[in-house]
Amino acid sequence: MAASENKTVPAEQGFVYWPLIAGWLVPGAGHFLLRKWGRGALLALAIVGMFVLGIAMQGELYTSASDILHVLGLAGDLGNGLLYFVSRFAGIGANAVQVTTADYGTRFIVVAGLLNVIAAVDAHNLKTGRKPL
Amino acid sequence: MFSPSHFTAVLLFALCASVVFGITQRETPRRMMRYGLYCFALFVGSVVVLSWVMYLIAR
């Protein structure tokens, strides 16, 4: 018990939210900040890959919060951080689902955002010592 | 435009989600790998089982 408690003591103080913010903005960046290169690369590959696959399937990027489903979809999409904003400004992504695979693509994009949030929180936990480095 | 089959889409989804789950939910590389494989098997296995259930219901 004592050994596991020692592991979770924060190694550094200061502003501990940089990995969380960086990880949200750029998938894997939170782990890169903590010099977890392998984990960061795998997370980036998985999340960016999922987002790109969603776009390639003509998935829809949620742009409005007109009803509850759109609110939830928008919340998921926002988890992608800069990927979402850059895609919005570049006009990438379908405005409406028109083929079957586009529906899958829309889900891929939303889930990529949610996974990115999980990854960013994991980086934050590593930083604070809640999870052993 | 990328138009995968249903099963290919499942495999891609399961692969990406399992990688993130494995890395974020476990602490050591060995346990990450095992948990990632476990999640992947559950994703794909549950899809296969549910597909058969829906097939049998629809008959």
The verdict on a CB contact (< 8 Å) between A47 and B15 is: no
> A23, A120 in Cβ contact below 8 A?
yes
pLDDT tens digit sequence for A88-109: 999 888 777 778 788 999 999 9
Mean pLDDT of A107-125: 97
Which residues does chain B have within 8 Å of residue A132's beta carbon, measured at their own beta carbons? 27
Q: Which amino acid is at A97?
A: V
Task: Give the list of residues 6+ apart from residue B44 with CB closer than 8 angstroms, or none.
Answer: B10, B11, B14
Name A14's Cβ contacts closer than 8 Å, sequence gap at least 6: none
Give the model confidence (pLDDT) of A12-35 as tens digits.
568 899 999 999 999 999 999 999
ipTM value of the model? 0.92
pLDDT at A5 over 50: no
- What is the amino acid identity at position A51? F
The Cβ of residue A24 has, within 10 Å, a number of other Cβ atoms equal to 24
A51 interfacial to chain B (CB closer than 8 Å): no
Residues of B within 8 A of A46 (CB-CB) are: 15-17, 19-20
pTM for the predicted model, two decimal places:
0.90
Mean pLDDT taken over chain B: 96
Domain boundaries defined on chain B = 12-58
d(CA B4, CA B58): 24
The domains of chain A are located at 15-128
Residues in chain A: 133
Cβ(A76)–Cβ(A114) under 8 Å? yes
Residue A60's φ and ψ, nearest 5 degrees, are -90, 135
Residue A94 backbone phi and psi in degrees, to 5: -75, 155
